Structure 1
């Protein structure tokens, strides 16, 4: 009825197809980082009521919205919808979920604040300086996997990308490895890991399986790497190496290490040092 893809948010209407044009303008970018930078730049050509921009600092990136005028009664709807639109398109570009580490909004928590947990996977912070979503910067390096034919098909059914979380996460295996390696001596259950990654334990298992991995195999990989490093570089007793690698007992560590290498930890240490220069 409005003939306005911005649904009345901005000082001028956006003709039907405006956001499709933004998507097409970013399609030829080689990586998600360049695609999102283009999307932000071209969005400013449609309206200067808000200015989206991509900010990267260290291992974290953020899509930030600066408000250029008073958005009035539709302010919340505008900021939330614009960020969800960008996240949905970004996820579609790389065929991967883009997990939100935190979402910021520059207004008080509304009565329906619980709904934000459905729209954004990470914690939501209200009364922030700007509206923004924060995510792992490694996703920016992922290549764009779509073509024009896929774009035409997507634009016919674009709404689900805005309102639903993309299921697949192409960097989930790397993210799990990072959490495990950060605290190798901790006991990591599926539930505690899922909480840190802002997914359910069921989703964690399913997505790891889709990526050809399992939680146990990733745990073993990190434990093995940690144990080998300690056996090479330290004189710690085997019991301490076992604890540092996340094993509850020395016996279980020796049994696992033998299955990985065909040697006991003590035998491995002696053979490694025998060939060391």
Structure 2
């Protein structure tokens, strides 16, 4: 299986530090990296230049060449080689899982068969799933950052590919100080990156775990022919996007007044946000109306707030625009709706309709 493409092609944004880590792998096996560097069109001068970057295509050529030439998909990180095809085996072992949660657990369990130097574990709490890496043996400082970053990117990429969905990360953490190329981490993972953390980890919405796998053996064989651009592709579709938009509109209304602000919280562009919602057969305005409708109905039923206050709480500038929208939603004016909701049906009591 090829190494992950850390960032999108065309732009030279992959840190040269990761290239140097691959060169260190050659040194460990006492082999010459010149052919691999030539295949990636990386000159010795560029390799030595502080702060230099390479494109994703260059990094793909380099890492793919190195993994096969060294016969080590870990590129020297661990106490023993991971022969060519090791990560493909992990993918195949997880492919028959009924859902993503089971697939991740299988990946973590089978990864121990490859190496005990690190251990992967999935933890779920408070609606958040966290994939953590434990370092069971001290990793060589020359490889440590690249090893932890790549291990999480492998896993994240496979997860996205397996369910055919973008999996937006809520947070990522790394147990080392922020490197000089820290800006690359936002593109590799999420803007919410913590350095000097206890362990390397990525966190995401627990609900992704329940999504069924969308791939079969044939798709896997195709993917493994050139795994890099497929596994780390920033998938256009996020199967939880509509739900996540609704939740943010409900819980962080003051911060989501514009598409740009909402897109920032979701770590996508506003253009991507609109496009993905359109692909789901929805729109941002429709979701805003849905959330406003739910909130207004709840406030009218459960409180005695004046209509003007209900309008403001539901995100309207004035009572007139709120009343007009509410009439379109329900066929009733807000006051009529409240009066109807407050009138107990035969055989019922008002206290059941209006709990304290």
Fold shared per TM-score above 0.5: yes
Structure 1 distance, partners of 2:257, 2:240, is: 19
Q: Which deviations, in whole Å up to 9, do the C-alpha atoms of 1:132-169 show, x marking residues without a partner? A: 00111111111111111111111112111454423210
Equivalent of residue 244 in structure 1, options 313, 322, 326 = 313
Query: For residue 228 of structure 1, what is the aligned residue in structure 2?
Result: 297
- 2:284 aligned with 1:215: yes
Query: For residue 16 of structure 2, what is the aligned residue in structure 1?
Result: none
Query: For residue 96 of structure 1, what is the aligned residue in structure 2?
Result: 165
1:11-160 equivalences under 5 Å are 11-72=79-140, 73-160=142-229
Equivalent of residue 5 in structure 1, options 62, 73, 85 = 73
Structure 1 distance, partners of 2:242, 2:302, is: 27
Higher mean Cα deviation, 128-137 or 262-271? 262-271
Q: What is the CA distance between 1:44 and its match in structure 2?
A: 0.7
Q: Which deviations, in whole Å up to 9, do the C-alpha atoms of 1:18-67 show, x marking residues without a partner? A: 10110111111111011001100100110001101101111111110001
TM (norm. structure 2) is 0.75
Structure 2 distance, partners of 1:139, 1:57, is: 14
Unaligned runs of 5+ in 2: 1-68, 349-356
Give the RMSD, CA atoms, in angstroms: 1.4
Q: Which deviations, in whole Å up to 9, do the C-alpha atoms of 1:246-272 show, x marking residues without a partner? A: 111111100111111111111111222
The answer to whether the 8 Å contact 1:184/1:223 transfers is: no
Q: What is the CA distance between 1:15 and its match in structure 2?
A: 1.1
- Whichever of the two has the greater Rg, that structure is 2
Query: For residue 274 of structure 1, what is the aligned residue in structure 2?
Result: 343
The answer to whether the 8 Å contact 2:185/2:193 transfers is: yes
Structure 1 distance, partners of 2:110, 2:321, is: 58
Structure 2 distance, partners of 1:93, 1:186, is: 33
TM (norm. structure 1) is 0.96
Equivalent of residue 198 in structure 1, options 267, 286, 301 = 267
Structure 1 distance, partners of 2:107, 2:327, is: 52
Cα gap change, 1:185 to 1:199, in 2 (>3 Å):
closer
Structure 2 distance, partners of 1:268, 1:167, is: 41
Structure 1 distance, partners of 2:87, 2:296, is: 51
Q: What is the CA distance between 1:186 and its match in structure 2?
A: 6.2
Structure 2 distance, partners of 1:256, 1:6, is: 59
Unaligned runs of 5+ in 1: none
Q: What is the CA distance between 1:198 and its match in structure 2?
A: 1.4
Q: Which deviations, in whole Å up to 9, do the C-alpha atoms of 1:219-272 show, x marking residues without a partner? A: 000000011111111111111111111111111100111111111111111222
